[in-house]
Amino acid sequence: MQHFLKLSDCTPEEIIELVDLADKLKYEKKNGIEHHILKGKTLGMIFQKSSTRTRVSFEVGMYDLGGMALFLSNRDLQIGRGEPVQDTARVLSSYLDGIMIRTFEQKEVEDLARYGSIPIINGLTDFCHPCQVIADLQTIREFKGGFKGLKFCYIGDGNNMANSLIVGGIKTGMSVAIGCPETYKPDAGIMKWAAENGDFTCTPDILAAAKDADVLYTDVWASMGQEEEAAQRRKVFEGYQINDEIMSVAKKDAIVLHCLPAHREEEITEKVFEAHAKDIFTEAENRLHAHKAIMVKLMAK
C-alpha cells in the first residue's frame, strides 16, 4: 500500500491488516507500551474543512509514534490562493514524509498522490472518508467479534460516509443495507460494485433497511460544504432518523455508530444517541488507533 486514498483501492486483506494493527496499537497504548516507529518523521496535515477528531487523533498519533505533525490550514497555505496542487505536491514531498489531506474534491487528493513522491492519506473528501471506516470496522469487531454474517445498516444521506461504509462493509463480508431518499443515494459506481460483489440493498424504506440489523449507522443530513442546503435538506431527510422505532426492528443487541459530529433530533434522537454513547465514543477513540495503523503501514519504511 503506497497511499490511502479510498477503500476501493485496498484489498480485503489490507483492510483487515489495518484493523488488526489498530487493535494491536490500542492494546499497547492502554498498557503503556511505547513504539517510536515513526521517529524523525513528519506528517503534514492539510485541512480545507473543519475537524476535531481527525486533526487531534492524527497529531496525537504521530506524537505517540515518535514523529511530529504539522497543521497546515488552507487559510495559510498558498494552495488556498490557487497554487497548483502539482507544485504543492512536489514541494511538500521534499520536506515531509507523508501528507494527510481533508478537502472537497477527491481529484485533489488523487492529484497530490500522482504528483508527489510521499504517502498521501485521505482525511475526508466529498466522495469518501476511508480513515473513519477503518475505525468503524475496528469498533464493529470489538463489539461483535467479527464481520461475516453481520447486517450493517446505514440510514440517511448517501454521502461520503455512505460511500466508504458500503465498500468497507462489503469487503469485510457484511451484508449492507442503505436506507436513504431516492434523490440522495450513494455513488452509482459504488452501488453497482457492491451489488455485484456482495449482499447489498438501497431502499427508501428505512424499516426494511434496519430490520434485523446488527449495526446501525447514521451521519449528518448536511455535510461540510452543504451548509446553504441545510434547511432544504432538513425537509427531505425528515424521518430518516435512528430512533426507537428503528431500534425496535433491529437486533436486540444492535450497536449504533455515528462518525460525529451529530445533530441530535435530526439523524438520531438524543435518547438513542445517549443509550449508545459507549458504542459511539469507543468509535471516536478508535480513530486514534486506526490512524496510527494507517501511518505505520504507509510511513514506516
Catalytic residues: 102, 129, 132, 219, 259, 287
Residue 166 lies near ligand NVA (rule: CB under 6 A): no
Angstrom distance (rounded) from CA 166 to CA 198: 10
Residue 215 CB neighbour total at 10 angstroms: 26
Number of shown-chain residues binding ligand CP (CB under 6 A): 8
Angstrom distance (rounded) from CA 259 to CA 136: 8
Answer with the entry of ligand NVA, ligand CP, none that 136 interacts with (C-beta below 5 to 8 A by kind). Answer: none
Residue 103 lies near ligand NVA (rule: CB under 6 A): no
Residue 220 lies near ligand NVA (rule: CB under 6 A): yes
Helix (H, G, I), strand (E, B) or coil at 122: strand
Binders of ligand CP in range 220-279 (CB under 6 A): 259-260
Angstrom distance (rounded) from CA 30 to CA 265: 34
Q: What are phi and psi of 143, to 5 degrees?
A: -90, -30
User: CB-wise, 68 or 236, nearer to ligand NVA?
Assistant: 236
Q: Which of 42, 51, 203, 226 binds ligand CP (CB under 6 A)?
A: 51
Taking the complex as a whole, how short is the minimal distance between the CB of residue 208 and ligand CP, in angstroms?
27
Q: Is the dihedral of CA 208, 272, 124, 284 positive or negative?
A: negative
Answer with the entry of ligand CP, ligand NVA, none that 52 interacts with (C-beta below 5 to 8 A by kind). Answer: ligand CP
Q: What are phi and psi of 119, to 5 degrees?
A: -60, 135
The beta strand positions in 112-242, using DSSP E, are 120-122, 151-155, 175-179, 200-203, 215-218
Indicate the residue whose CB is closest to ligand CP: 54
Binding marks (x or -) toward ligand CP, 1..30, rule CB under 6 A? Answer: ------------------------------
Indicate the residue whose CB is closest to ligand NVA: 223
User: CB-wise, 54 or 269, nearer to ligand CP?
Assistant: 54
Residue 139 lies near ligand NVA (rule: CB under 6 A): no
Q: Which of 48, 54, 138, 159 binds ligand CP (CB under 6 A)?
A: 54
Binding range to ligand NVA, per CB under 6 A, among 112-120, 154-162, 197-205, 289-297: 154-162
Which CA distances in Å does 2 have to 26, 116, 296?
23, 12, 12
Q: Which 8-state DSSP code applies to residue 242?
A: B
CA angle centred on 54, ends 51 and 57, rounded to 5°: 130
Q: Which of 132, 172, 241, 269 binds ligand CP (CB under 6 A)?
A: 132
Angstrom distance (rounded) from CA 58 to CA 46: 11
Residues that bind ligand CP (CB under 6 A): 51-54, 124, 132, 259-260
Residues making contact with ligand NVA (CB under 6 A): 124, 129, 159-161, 219-220, 223-224, 259
